[in-house]
Amino acid sequence: MDQIRTSQRQDAHRRQIVDRGIVLQGRSGTVSAVEFLRSQDIASEVIERVLGEPERRRAIAS
């Protein structure tokens, strides 16, 4: 059970990071967003999908 909770917390945290990257892309451009997401250890495949294919994004968490 604790492993599931830990995984959910990490997933929620990583989702917040990705959401920040998407917002950063709109404000400062794609290069800044890519650099930020890389610095936060977000997988390259995820970065490419969320920044390069906006139609495949999930809704940004509120």
Strand intervals (E) in the chain: none
Domain count, the chain: 1
Would residue 47 count as lying in a domain?
yes
The Cα–Cα gap between 47 and 4 comes to: 25
The pTM (predicted TM-score) of the whole model is 0.77
Contact 18, 50 (CB under 8 A): yes
Would residue 18 count as lying in a domain?
yes
pLDDT tens per residue, the chain (62 residues)?
455 555 566 788 999 999 999 999 999 999 999 999 999 999 999 999 999 988 777 666 55
**What confidence score (pLDDT) does residue 60 get?**
60
Would residue 49 count as lying in a domain?
yes
The DSSP code for 41 is T
Would residue 61 count as lying in a domain?
no
The Cα–Cα gap between 12 and 31 comes to: 24
**What confidence score (pLDDT) does residue 57 get?**
73
**What confidence score (pLDDT) does residue 33 get?**
98
**What confidence score (pLDDT) does residue 17 get?**
96
For residue 32, give Cα distances in angstroms to 12, 23, 24, 35, 39: 22, 11, 7, 5, 11
